[in-house]
Structure 1
Amino acid sequence: MATTAKNTAALVSSPPSRKNARSVRSLTDAERARLEEFAELIHYSPRYSDDSHEYRHVMLPKQMLKVIPKEYFDGDTGTLKILYEEEWRGLGITQSLGWEHYETHVPEPWILLFRRSK
């Protein structure tokens, strides 16, 4: 997937410091129960790759954003922060090992971009 100058501005890529500036925020049992109803509605794109990484994007149901804890969001952009594996798995996202959440798409905050090294 080629990224052009036009769509690069719409992506928010976080340096590792943004991700590591906070600790993992685990879900409470009540939050987890509210999110479980959306797990089957999560859509996973086909995988695509470049020379170094394999990629995919994960689309959450839009209504799911209303029940995700506010601490998971970036107050400046309104998108989800870059999530630790424990956090995105807690939301019901299921993928094999090695995937990392590395970007969010500002115009469509329900779309999370993932990658893993080849």
Structure 2
Amino acid sequence: MSVLDYADRIIYSDRYSDDFFEYRHVILPKQVLRLLPRQYFEADDSGVLRILTEAEWRGMGITQSLGWEMYATHEPHILLFRREKDYQGKYGIEGKPLHTRKK
């Protein structure tokens, strides 16, 4: 089996926010951790995932709209994400600024 075989078992939390960011956590099936490359984990052999790039977490089958960044790991299989508050209102679905200043 590959990591992508578990994509339909990934659980996405509802979004929650503070004054600056909106957040969500993503729960991976624990079996996925055994299938990930060693370089996805912290170098200290703790079994905890390091902060992954967007390409890495999307390659694991995590699907989210643009603007999300992984900023922490809560447990080995629970990843924490955030993005700028009102991201889609500011950048649209393509991730480009909607309002630019003209000189």
TM-score, reference length from structure 1: 0.69
Paired with 2:29 and 2:23, the residues of 1 have a C-alpha distance of: 20
| Matched residue count | 84
Deviation string, structure 1 residues 41-82 (Cα, Å, up to 9, x no partner)? 000000000000000000000011000111100032321110
Q: How far is 1:35 from its partner?
A: 1.1
For 1:48, give the aligned amino acid.
Y
Paired with 2:11 and 2:70, the residues of 1 have a C-alpha distance of: 15
Aligned identity (percent) is 63
Paired with 1:90 and 1:37, the residues of 2 have a C-alpha distance of: 12
Q: What is residue 5 of structure 2 aligned with on the other side?
A: 37
More RCO (CA 8 Å, sep 6+): 1
Larger radius of gyration, structure 1 or 2? 2
Deviation string, structure 1 residues 62-111 (Cα, Å, up to 9, x no partner)? 01100011110003232111000000000000000000000012xx2000
SS across alignment from 1:74 = coil
Flag as ranges the 4+ runs of structure 1 deviating above 6 A: none
Q: What is residue 53 of structure 2 aligned with on the other side?
A: 84
SS across alignment from 1:37 = helix
Q: Cα RMSD over matched residues?
A: 1.0
Where does the alignment leave 5 or more consecutive residues of structure 2 unmatched? 86-103
Q: What is residue 94 of structure 1 aligned with on the other side?
A: 63
1:74 has 2:42 as partner: yes
TM-score, reference length from structure 2: 0.78
